[in-house]
Amino acid sequence: MKDFAGKIAVITGGGTGMGRELARQLVAEGCNVAMCDVSEAAMAETRRLCEVEKLPQGLRVTTHVADVAIEDHLKRFRDELAEQQKTDRIHLLFNNAGIGGGGSLFTNTREQWERTFNICWGGVYLGVRTFLPMLVAADEAHIVNTASVNGFWASIGLNQAHTAYSSAKFAVKGFTEALISDLRLHAPHVKCSVVMPGHIGTSIVSNSRKVQSGDGSERLNADEVALTRKRMVAAGVPDADKMSDEDVQAAFAERVRSFLEDAPTTAAQAAKIILDGVKAERWRILVGEDAKRLDERVRATPEQAYDRAFFESLTQEVGWRLG
């Protein structure tokens, strides 16, 4: 697929971050977009940004509220887009939606753990299941599944568990690699790619907290304050055990800001790398120099990938502040 003009793209998690930037760049190339998200307001802003420059006549940008972990939501999304986009086929599927959280089997609830896993993995699986007939019906099509560097390296540091997200992203990576042969055998005109970003400047930290808590607030609740303080103590933050609740709130707010604003790769840059990878029919798309370096290092010394020396040298090399 060398260009996207006149095509129809489905994007999950289109309200913010990479999903929003994928929508903006696809629309700029003349591609119709149908996006879903749990936040109607966030999608409305994405649509507004897409329409800042007047859309070409006939180009459609539609928004659909859906939780990708719920199959009936995705089926409703599919049926709505078929009606609103006036189509029985799509050309691009970006399974992009994801959240963090539920890192530990010990300190997080089962509900938090499974919420993360069911969105990050279940949303990809159900997305492919739901839209595959519409992809097959197109003359050419491409499935793009967002994994992570945590799909080949299951950690964010020595002092913080990261099991739900990493497990889900490993599943996404393996699923997409297995799809290569499945598609070649049964639908050779449909291609697939697994996207593995490093640290991208998005709102995933704050968005994940909102989804996991269900309260939509920017502030931590009492249980989250206590857990955050405990993590800070484990990470060796000076006097973390003596910090007031408001100090912990401020530390979390700074983490949200830093993750978004201090990332080595912006969401817009990530979206361009992904779309260029689709045009080049690359099945494996690493996003960011940090992702490339980590991939090289894990492949070179897999047995040492979770040792302290590996963490410390990685932090120095790519500039990450690991937990």
| Catalytic residue IDs | 165
Shortest CA distance to 122 belongs to which of 90, 161, 79, 165?
165
Q: What angle do CA 317, 195, 27 make, to 5 degrees?
A: 120
What span, in angstroms and rounded, lies between the C-alpha atoms of 134 and 131? 5
Cβ atoms of 18 and 96 closer than 8 Å: yes
Cβ atoms of 232 and 243 closer than 8 Å: yes
Neighbouring CB atoms inside 10 A of 183's CB total 19
Cβ atoms of 179 and 143 closer than 8 Å: yes
Cβ atoms of 68 and 11 closer than 8 Å: no
Amino acid identity for residue 11 in this structure: I
| Side-by-side strand order, sheet with 61-65 | 61-65, 32-37, 8-12, 92-95, 141-146, 190-197, 284-287
Q: What angle do CA 296, 11, 101 make, to 5 degrees?
A: 60
